[in-house]
Structure 1
Amino acid sequence: MTQQKSSLYIFSITLVATLGGLLFGYDTAVISGAEKSIEAYLVDGLDLSSFVHGATISSALIGCIIGGLISGYFSSAFGRKKSLIVAAILFLLSALGSAYPEFLFFTPGEPTIALLLTFNFYRIIGGIGVGLASAIVPMYIGEIAPAKIRGRLVSFNQFAIIFGMLVVYFVNWGIANGQSVEWIDEVGWRYMFASEAIPALLFCTFLFFVPETPRYLALKNKDDGALAILTKINGAASAKSILSEIKQSVSTSSEKLSTFAYGKTVIVIGILLSVFQQFVGINVALYYAPRIFESMGAAKDASMLQTIVMGLVNVLFTVIAIMTVDRWGRKPLLIIGSIGMAVGMFGVSGLAFANIISISTLLFIIVYTASFMMSWGPICWVLISEIFPNKIRGQAVAIAVAAQWAANYLVSSTYPMMMEYSGGLTYGLYGVMSVLSAIFVWKFVPETKGKSLEQMESFWKTPTTKNSKIS
């Protein structure tokens, strides 16, 4: 296979895989346009509390935790490709079920507790798909891609996540634009959820045309299949030597090792990276963006247009992160991002305490989200894929990803209740978390720029790093 054909083949496989990332972002943000309608129909219609509303809007995150926890088992037992097909089917079922939860058993327009639980069930199904995709898509791309371009190709997945959010902001705005609040609350929100079925169906279909990863095939002793794929990707000259390295790696990683074989420090750092990524409050901005903008006095369709502006900012600053992470390093970007997030959240908090609602609020939110997208958004995932030693990476990543989704659920589900108490204190708390995240990175997170995974493994084996400050 010529170099040009090989590059096209790799790019095509990566493009299909990143549809999983796009659906990750799409499913995460689709709720932003529908959450007020869901509140009107299933929460206010049943005279339930703001806590129930927050739990309903965040219910998909329960599925994300489950999906993250089972991703290791699924990818090992059924393969990376089949696990992604399962995720695609779950996305499709969730999109259709969330759009019309009354299907077969309930009467439209008549809210009941059973209908509320059914809606949450469909959202949790989608969340399991997100959890699977969040862990397996980067794994799939990493195991397919040639070493020299692996980092770049894996980074496309983060871009796809943010792009998926931007796409759904456009979709939600297009559905709501020019429509009455009554129509949106009755019908529009259903179209928003149903729109996810289109990329989910494309993802499921295209997955049947991509190969399983050579690493998984080698793990299952299907060496001929692994060699055939490696030859297509890397050329015949390199394929055999790469397969030999994979077989050696598979043999080594199959040894039974404790997750804490390298001490608790690396596991705790991985968990705290995940937790801080959520405790700074980013998913509040993603899930509740239209509501925040409406509180500034914007009409419903105008508020959704403002989320598009925020989505464009997110894409731009994610690209900046991808372009600079290997030049500036991980730690500087994380610290700069934390400072920017603190400025943004403290600004919003101050304006809330002063009861000032203006364009300055939007500007502070943009500063906050831009700072996150150039730092903690993509780079947290980069570090989680880098800091863990090869032999415990699967176990450790599962723990970190589950902690991340659990923290996400906690923050998102408590937001409405906290806002009822005090908006200023709520945003101020996220600002404090941003400051603490900067201190945590400065004191404890190692710089991984320019280091091989084997060098990181040696780093954690060094006794002084286990019992002293990590810099």
Structure 2
Amino acid sequence: MSTQKFVYQYTLVAAVGGLLFGYDTAVIAGAIGFIEKKYQLSPAMTGWLASCALVGCMIGAMVAGWMSDRFGRKKILMLSAIAFAVSSLGIMFAPGMSYFVFFRIVGGIGIGIASILSPMYISEIAPPNIRGRLISIYQLGIVAGILLIYFVNALIAGLYDEAWNIETGWRWMFGSGLIPSVIFMIFLFIVPESPRWLAQQNRWKEAGDILQKVNGDRAAEETQAIRESLSAKQGSLRDLIKPGLRTALIIGVLLSILSQVTGINVIMYYAPEIFKATGDGASSALLQTILVGGINLLMTVIAIKYVDKLGRKKLLLIGAAGMSICLAAIGFAFHQQHTTGYWILAGILLYISFFAISLGPLTFVVVSEIFPTNIRGRAMSVAIFFLWLSVYIVSQTFPMLLNAIGTAYTFWIYMIFSILAFVFVWRSVPETKGKTLEEIENMWRV
């Protein structure tokens, strides 16, 4: 088997963690309307039910770094798969809202772990010339999971009438997550541990064998670069607030925040409800939501193709600019009450397209690349914690914003954040295309 075949095989397995991430976060999109009717929820409670999993995501993000530094990337990825499975079964049989919230938080812990360790694993095993493409495959896994659960939700919702969906259908939507969870567990048995983690444990023979598989003739060069990097002894979180690495931390945290406060999860979690607000019925709204997932998948494939050609920064700038324009137009359409026809759908699809070629995949690419090997796990935990905190705030506040200021002004708030994302990337984010992880690490040394 060629080195690239090994690399893609390991990447695809890690990307199943992304598929579970997308599947488990977006399942709420098809279920929230039925849950809201079953429990007669207020806007605040609807936001809490939609976003409670994100509390688990923050917990998972906080613990994933140090756990993976201690026990290895592969073992903790297995733990995330188990959390997904427990969550799916628990919600399927949950007798009330408190149980629902508990098991959603358990699933969120799995998502938080996978959101750090899947892209980290890929970054640590990937050759520099295709690393951006490979980490973007993780994002492809996320959007494939989102699209898959949109289909599953629509299929389950169409089995019987609305009364059945309010009482039972939404449980099957969550329970279906058991199948991809078990598949992920099985696949993890066929991948090796991260070579950079093995090197940290002084298991150089095992690390060298894996690097030989995935790098071929460049294995010795990669091994030497890792040795030099590990000898720098940058191993504590305190190092991240020192000059140099502090810049990397600021970039990682702010990029993570901006990738979410631009409103993407409003679309992913509430798409059917948004389309219902334009006058479409529940079935039509679910079908339009599937179209959103399909465009997300297609444009992520385009990002994978061009991320190592055009570079991270250029795609981020294109995406942030396009998102700003689309959000302005969506807000204007709602403001003028031009919600019939396909104006809103077209604006959302364009917005998704720009996100899917930029902040969607490339946030994980950049955050996976910019931190030194000795501290990558814990540093990524900090950055991705803020990502999930931002998702939580946006998801919790969206129903309340709609109720308080209306749809138009809500989308214009996300437009302002998209403009800020453009300015931040333009001024602060360096290009990392084609550099080894060790070369990127040297950028921060002062």
TM-score, length-scaled by structure 1: 0.87
Partner of 1:20 in structure 2?
A: 17
Distance 1:456 1:203, change over 3 A: closer
Task: State the shift of 1:300 in Å.
Answer: 1.4
CA drift at 1:207: 1.4
The amino acid that maps onto 2:19 is L
Gaps of 5+ in 2: none
Q: 1:424 to 1:312 in 2, by over 3 A?
A: same
Distance change >3 Å, CA 295–CA 62, structure 1 → 2 = same
> Is the CA contact 1:162–1:311 (under 8 Å) kept in the aligned structure 2?
yes
Task: Tell me, yes or no, if the aligned pair for 1:274 and 1:400 is still in contact at 8 Å.
Answer: yes
Counterparts of 2:142 and 2:34, CA distance in 1? 25
Q: 1:459 to 1:404 in 2, by over 3 A?
A: same
1:360 to 308, 331, 343: 343
Cα displacement string for residues 120-147 of structure 1 (whole angstroms, at most 9, x for unaligned residues): 1100111110110011111222333344
Q: How big is the shift at 1:269?
A: 2.6
- Listed one character per residue, the Cα deviations across residues 416-439 of structure 1 (whole Å, up to 9, x for unaligned) are 111112112111111121122212
Given the superposition, is the C-alpha separation of residues 303 and 253 from structure 1 closer, same or farther in structure 2, using an over 3 Å criterion? farther
Question: Could you tell me which of 373, 381, 391 is aligned with 1:408?
Answer: 391
When the two chains are superposed, the root-mean-square deviation of aligned CA atoms in Å is 2.3
CA positional deviation for 1:246 = 3.5
Q: Which residue in the other structure is 1:438 paired with? A: 422
Equivalence for 1:468 = none
Cα distance, 1:11 vs. partner?
Answer: 3.0
State the SS of the aligned residue for 2:33. Answer: helix
Structure 1: tracts of 5 or more residues without a match: 103-114, 463-471
> 2:232 is matched with which residue: 252, 275, 293?
252
Q: 1:100 aligns with which of 90, 93, 99?
A: 93
| Alignment-derived partner of residue 61 in structure 1 | 54
Match of 1:87 among 55, 80, 93: 80
Aligned counterpart, 2:265: 283
Of 275, 285, 294, which residue of structure 2 is paired with 1:303? 285
In structure 2, relative to structure 1, the CA distance for the partners of 1:116 and 1:318 (3 Å cut) is same
The residue aligned with 1:154 is 135
Conserved 8 A contact 1:20-1:203: yes
Change (3 A) 1:273 1:254: closer
Shift in CA distance, 283/166, structure 1 to aligned 2, threshold 3 Å: same
Q: Is 1:398 matched up with 2:381?
A: yes
Q: CA deviation at 1:231?
A: 4.4
Which 10-residue stretch deviates more, 428-437 or 119-128? 428-437
The alpha carbon displacement at 1:189 in A equals 0.8
Question: Post-superposition shift, 1:452?
Answer: 4.7
Matching of residue 229 in structure 1 with residue 229 in structure 2: no
Q: Higher relative contact order by CA 8 Å / sep ≥ 6: 1 or 2?
A: 2
**What residue identity is the alignment partner of 1:152?**
R
SS of residue in 1 equivalent to 2:193? coil
**Structure 1 residues 284-309: Cα deviation after superposition (integer angstroms, max 9, x where no partner):** 00000111111122221221111111
- TM-score by length of structure 2 reads 0.92
Closer, same or farther: CA 260–16 of 1 in aligned 2, 3 Å: same
Q: CA deviation at 1:242?
A: 4.6
Contact 1:178 1:301 in 2 (8 A): no
Residues 331-375 of structure 1 show CA distances to partners (whole Å, capped at 9, x for unaligned) of 332222122212221222122222232211111111111111111
Whether the 8 Å CA contact 1:181–1:300 is kept in 2: the answer is: no
Once the two structures are superposed, residues 214-264 of structure 1 have per-residue CA deviations (whole angstroms, 9 ceiling, x without a partner) of 3222322333433443444455x7656654544443343465561112354
Distance 2:140 2:122 in 1: 14
Mapping 1:410-429, distance limit 5 Å: 410-421=393-404, 422-429=406-413
How far residue 65 of structure 1 moved from its aligned partner, in angstroms, is: 0.8
| Cα distance in 2 between the residues matched to 1:314 and 1:322 | 12
Residue in structure 1 matched with residue 162 of structure 2 by the alignment:
181
Identity of aligned residues (%): 44
CA distance in 1, matches of 2:408, 2:222: 56
Q: Which residue of 2 is the match for residue 203 of structure 1? A: 184
Change in 2 beyond 3 A, CA 1:118/1:70: same
Aligned to 2:300: 318
Cα gap change, 1:10/1:390 in structure 2, threshold over 3 Å: closer, same or farther? closer
- Check conservation: 1:274, 1:401, Cα contact below 8 A: yes
Q: Is the 8 A contact 1:253 1:390 kept in 2?
A: no
